[in-house]
Structure 1
Amino acid sequence: MIAFIKSLWGDRRGNVLVIVAAAMPLIIGGAGLATDTIQWTLWKRQLQRAADSAAVAGVYDREATSGSTSTASAAVTRDLSLNLHSYYGLKTGYPVTTFPANSGVKTNQVAVTVAIQRRLSFSSFFMSTPPTITATATAAAIPAGGDACVEALETNAAKTGIINSGNTTIYMPSCVMHSNSPSTNSASAGGSSDVTALAIAAVGGIQQSNNFHVTAYRPYSPPLADPLASITPDPNAMTCSASALTNTTNFATLPAGTNCFASLSVGSNKTLNVPANFGPIYINGGSVNFQGTFNCTGCTIVLTNKSVAANATIGTVSSNAQAANNITAPTSGTYKGISIYQDRRAVDCSGCNKLNGGSASLITGALYFPSQELWYNGGGAGTATCTMVVARRIVFTGNSNFKGLSQCVTEGLPQNNTVRMIRLVA
């Protein structure tokens, strides 16, 4: 085009001037329309990007508020204020934020429509009203593939939710590790640890490690709800004794209905066999100390306090490496699928619960420590078990194999503890 114009410019014949005069409006118009098209496309792309981000922000807000829509619109507006430059003033009446109903696997959906009016440099000569540019996006939470057998409930950004330390070996190819901590290093695998899992997911960041052997890293995932949040000990269900439950306890001489004890302990090289289907064993303010063999089928150890005071003392668990902890949770009732339950009134502490055990240990059911840290060594690495770990923070210190939750339906473990991701769906 440039060479053609130069040739016309140098041409001395008069008819060329006529051709140039006739063609120049077309050339200028074509250039103007091309410029407007490029500018329109740029604005459209920037507006679409902002709508996409705002919709995703809205879903994150809904996920954090158990599906509520009360603050989602504010989250959308806030995100737009960060992602749209000040000279992109939205058209009056926008953004329009709606909340489509759950559809199939798509939950907590948020749809955002935004629009701007911008004058185009060439077309404005012929248009009395600037054109409207509109962008729409819909985001939702969808399953990411896999249920969480290990879940850290920590929400403090200064704390790592899951730590795999030392020579720990974890094998859970059908399960996900998930941490609710928003820390930049929400789940870690240090030392010589070896962690095989379906995925590592976290609300915060996850630093890549050669010690993780996973099909996917899923940082910045929505938080997972506490799968046992609805379970709370009932003081009226406790018939308490002032005595401790120990390896010397004779169950035949206990007063009828007794299910609550001051503490629980098994001495070194000693054995405590709890009658099958004994039910919940309530520990009234005291702690649990395992050094020998503890056998309990169809029961749940409940660390609680008969007092209803908010600051009532809640005990902890200590189990040494020589202990053999054989606990099978009940498959029905209040504590269905729970092997050890700690009251939420427990005061946060680091390293205060240490559940170690030798290769003979076998725990079937959930280990639930929602307010405190749990150090866990599941024993031998030979047999996968229907074990679930839910704690404020979790430190793995030994070898453990986990079955997937879908393989543990008959054992009563909570189901549908599915990790999700937030994605654009329209």
Structure 2
Amino acid sequence: MRKLKDLLLDRSGNFAVAAALVALPLCLVLGVAIDLTSAVTWKSRLQELADSAALAAIESDGGDEEAVAAAKNIALGNGSFAVGGVVEVDITTPTPVSREAAVEITASMPTDFMNLAGIRAISLHVTAKARKAPPEYCIYALDPESTGALSVTGLGKVSVPNCGIQVNSSSPEALRHVGAGKIAATKISVVGNYQGGGYSVSPKTNQPFLADPLVTTPEPVPPTGCDYSNQALSDVTIPAGRVFCGSIDFGGKIVLSPGVHYFHNAIVGISNNAKITGKEVTIFVDSKSSIIQAGGNGAMELSAPTSGVYTGIAIFGSRTALPLLPTISLAINKNYWVNGTIYSPMHHLKMKGTNDKKLATGLGWIVAWQFSYNGDSSVNLDGYSGTPPKGLGDAAIALLQ
């Protein structure tokens, strides 16, 4: 056997030892590179999951809990390749009519080669944020030809600070403003022209005609028969699904149970002492029905459904056109709010603000054949914090990061 001294003096033996000593760290370096490349690939896949989860949360039709569940289902259901995946979802509303979803995913990737150096896993962390911004318009006046299709008179203020106003009429005075009040919006678009001043931004004329944004939402169909006909109702709780016909007078405390309530061939009066409340409610008003609220001392507190076909719609007017335009007339005051959208595509929506100078908030969007406001108080028409009806909020979803 050759002695160690001879081996060290032998050039070929010296090279073999050197090669053996260099091979181990070289293999480790190559292994680390492979593991790190895999980690980059895994992180990219996790980022795609986080993006998809954030968008799923924003696109969810339900409330915050449903949005969180939708995001986690996407992330956890498709992230099985990662180890110990944890998904955190946060839903916020930075403005009353916008919604953000932040998704954070942490996971571990087992190593193949770095394990030899005692590094058993690489921690991965990704974030994504998506936003549903306000719809471009909060008020639509659908009438294509009438003068004053949208009109505001008096000392009060109609405000849609987060979105715009669309007036479809081609009339030279399609939009009318008379008085010392204000009309405030991010943009005002008119197919025809406008009259008056007091606008927060100059209305743009000769703008494109816009179709009814909620036209694809199915119209409620009232059950056969009448549950209440030519009656005065006071201090009563009304079950969902009931049909009101003829002359209906509401007084005292009226509680509407969650669901759809139908007005069929009805003239509905709301007296000064009435207090109408309802959560998760949609009121359907057919083409031969009108709602008239007398005075401004009554109270109305309604909130639209947060899920289902009529999500975000508090009042739904029929699309059937008649020679005589029906009216929905509401006298708003400090005790009045409709937390949802008023959709009356073939009704003239009239709102009158009392002189208590209170700001009526909570309203979602208005889509009406004609819309007019008269009064001395201010009304904020885009204070709705819930999910907008499909058609109003679908076009403003984007990833922020």
Give the TM-score normalised by the residue count of structure 2.
Answer: 0.56
Say if 2:312 and 2:386, in contact at 8 Å, map to a contact too.
Answer: no
1:126 aligned partner: none
**What is the alpha-carbon distance in structure 1 between the residues aligned to residue 342 and residue 237 of structure 2?**
25
Q: 2:372 aligns with which of 370, 380, 395?
A: 395
In the alignment, the residues of structure 2 paired with residue 410 and residue 416 of structure 1 have an alpha-carbon distance, to the nearest angstrom, of 8
SS at match of 2:194: coil
Task: Tell me, yes or no, if structure 1 residue 266 matches structure 2 residue 262.
Answer: no
SS in 1 for 2:207: coil
1:282 corresponds to: 262
CA contact (8 A) 1:370 1:390 kept: yes
Using a 3 Å threshold, how does the CA distance of structure 1 residues 333 and 416 change in structure 2: closer, same or farther? closer
Deviations 1:62-83 (A, max 9, x none): xxxxxxxxxxxxxxxxxxxxxx
1:146, distance to aligned residue in structure 2 (A)? 6.1
Confirm or deny that 1:367 pairs with 2:342.
yes
The equivalences for 1:237-386 within 5 A come to 240-243=226-229, 247-248=233-234, 250-251=236-237, 258-262=241-245, 264-267=248-251, 270-275=252-257, 277=258, 279-291=259-271, 292-304=274-286, 314-320=288-294, 321-347=296-322, 349=324, 352-377=327-352, 381-382=358-359, 384-386=361-363
Question: Is 1:213 the counterpart of 2:195 in the alignment?
Answer: no
Q: Aligned letter for 1:204?
A: G
Once the two structures are superposed, what CA deviation does each residue of 1:76-100 show, in whole Å capped at 9, x if it has no partner? xxxxxxxxxxxxxxxxxxxxxxxxx
Query: How many angstroms does 1:265 deviate by?
Result: 2.9
1:210 to partner: Cα distance: 3.4
Q: Which has the higher strand share?
A: 2
Question: In the aligned structure 2, how far is the partner of 1:248 from the partner of 1:232?
Answer: 31
Give yes or no for contact 2:147–2:175 (8 Å, CA) kept in 1: no
Secondary structure, in 3 states, of the residue corresponding to 2:387?
coil
Amino acid at match of 1:331: T
1:410 alignment partner, one of 384, 387, 394? 387
- Which residue identity is paired with 2:382? K
- Paired positions, count: 255
Quick check: 1:227 aligned with 2:201? no
For residue 148 of structure 1, the aligned residue among 127, 137, 147 is 137
Cα 1:233–1:369, aligned 2, differ >3 Å: closer, same or farther?
same
Check whether the contact 1:329–1:336 (CA below 8 A) recurs between aligned residues: yes
Residue 350 and residue 259 in structure 1: after superposition, are their counterparts in 2 closer, same or farther (change >3 A)? closer
- How far residue 294 of structure 1 moved from its aligned partner, in angstroms, is 0.5
Amino acid at match of 1:397: N
Amino acid in structure 1 at the alignment position of 2:256: V
Aligned position for 2:186? 198
Root-mean-square deviation (CA, aligned residues, Å) is 3.0
Kindly indicate whether the alpha-carbon contact (under 8 Å) linking 1:343 and 1:369 is maintained by their aligned counterparts in 2: yes
Runs ≥4 in structure 1, deviation > 6 angstroms?
A: none
Instruction: Determine the C-alpha separation between the residues in 2 that align with 1:381 and 1:250.
Output: 28
Give unpaired runs (5+ residues) of structure 1.
1-144, 305-312, 420-426
Deviations 1:277-309 (A, max 9, x none): 2x00011211222121110111111112xxxxx
5 Å-filtered alignment, 1:21-32, equals: none
SS class of match (2:359): coil
Secondary structure of 2:162 counterpart? strand
Q: Which stretch shifts more, 338-347 or 240-249?
A: 240-249
Change (3 A) 1:238 1:177: farther
Tell me the SS of whatever aligns to 2:365. strand
Please report how far the alpha carbon of residue 318 of structure 1 lies from its aligned counterpart in structure 2 after TM superposition. 0.5
**TM-superposition CA deviations, 1:187-223 (whole Å, max 9, x none):** 121122211111111111234x431112x42211111
Residues 146 and 327 (structure 1), Cα distance of their counterparts in 2 relative to 1, 3 Å cut: closer
- Distance in 1, Cα, partners of 2:225 & 2:309: 16
Q: TM-score, normalising length from structure 1?
A: 0.53
How far 1:234 sits from its partner (Å)? 4.6
* Deviation, structure 1 residue 166: 1.8
3-state SS of 1:183 partner: coil
C-alpha distance 348-164 of structure 1, shift in aligned 2 (>3 A): farther
In structure 2, distance between residues paired with 1:147 and 1:348:
31
| Alignment partners' CA distance in 1, 2:262 and 2:166 | 29
Q: 1:348 to 1:218 in 2, by over 3 A?
A: farther
The 1:162–1:346 alpha-carbon spacing in structure 2 relative to 1, beyond 3 Å, is: same
Distance 1:418 1:324 in 2: 34
1:344-397 CA-to-partner distances (Å, cap 9, x unmatched) read 225254683311122100111111221232211366643542421111111111
* Superposition pairs of residues 51-70 of structure 1, within 5 angstroms: none
1:356 counterpart SS class: strand
Q: Which amino acid counterpart does residue 177 of structure 1 have in structure 2?
A: I
Aligned residue for 1:211, secondary structure, equals coil
State the alpha-carbon separation in 1 of the partners of residues 292 and 360 from structure 2. 23
Distance 2:363 2:333 in 1: 17
Per-residue CA distance 1:136-165 (angstroms, 9 max, x = gap) = xxxxxxxxx962111100112x42321011
Q: Distance in 2 between matches of 1:236 and 1:372?
A: 18
